[in-house]
Amino acid sequence: MRRQRSFCALGLSCLLLGGCADTGGDARGDARDTYVVRPQDTVYSIAWRYGLDFRDVARWNNIGPDFHIAVGQALTLTPKAAPAPPRKGRPSASTAPLAPIPSALSWVWPTDRMSVPQPVPGGGILLSGRVGQDIRAASSGRVVYTGNGIRGYGNLIIIKHGENLLSAYAHARESLVHDGQEVMLGQVIGHMGEGAPQKPVLYFEIRRNGKPVDPLGFLPKVK
């Protein structure tokens, strides 16, 4: 019975995120070595789509500190030099989220909790709610992407915090912020929409250096 419940929970997560194959493919990347910039793309959204650190993407393509890219521009998604061979005995990479490390930033829950957060394997958490419910910036930062160009996330908002942290808010009904806007802790940035199959939900994720970390390690503990 316990195993059956686990499978059911995983299946629900897949449905709410619009399909595990879709979201997983974008979040972890694929074998593509180059990418042609499309409308709405930013360095941050491209790095997010392929599970890369945005700073690496910028460095590999000699992108300036303003991170400006142009539609039609071809970007390299791998280092120009061949990667060094793995060391013997080196542990294999895991798809599990990395453990969070202490952060000097303050954090709040990105929306009012209606139920227990549901972890998504290898990623963030699902927070159920009501259509139109406020979505808030979980920490102060700068908006680096708003749009629906990343498969499986619906309308997505990405905020940069410091040098190596990004937070993402998926399935927004609408965004109240724009690229480049500075936002404060707890500021309303959008309203909750629906994930598949038409369930009001917010998918929330935090990445450090391009890799998912457990968001529950950042958010305040609920008594």
Cβ proximity of 183 and 141 under 8 Å: yes
* pLDDT, tens digit, 9 for 90 and up, residues 106-142: 999 999 998 899 999 878 999 999 999 999 999 999 9
Query: Helices H, strands E: what count in the chain?
Result: 4, 14
Residue of 94, 105, 169, 173 whose CA lies nearest to 139: 105
CB atoms < 10 A from the CB of 41, how many? 21
Q: Identify any residues that bridge with 188 across adjacent strands, giving them in sequence order.
A: 136
H or E segment to which residue 11 belongs: helix 2-16
Q: Is the pLDDT of residue 181 over 90?
A: yes
Query: How would you classify the pairing of strands 188-192 and 74-76?
Result: unpaired
* pLDDT, tens digit, 9 for 90 and up, residues 84-98: 444 444 433 444 555
Structure-token pair, residue 98: 């990395």
Q: Is the pLDDT of residue 66 over 60?
A: yes
Q: What pLDDT, on a 0 to 100 scale, did the predictor assign at position 103?
A: 62
Q: What pLDDT, on a 0 to 100 scale, did the predictor assign at position 98?
A: 59
- Burial of 76-110, coded b for 16+ CB within 10 Å and e otherwise, reads ebeeeeeeeeeeeeeeeeeeebeebeebeeebebb
Would you say the pTM of this structure is higher than 0.85?
no
Q: What pLDDT, on a 0 to 100 scale, did the predictor assign at position 30?
A: 47
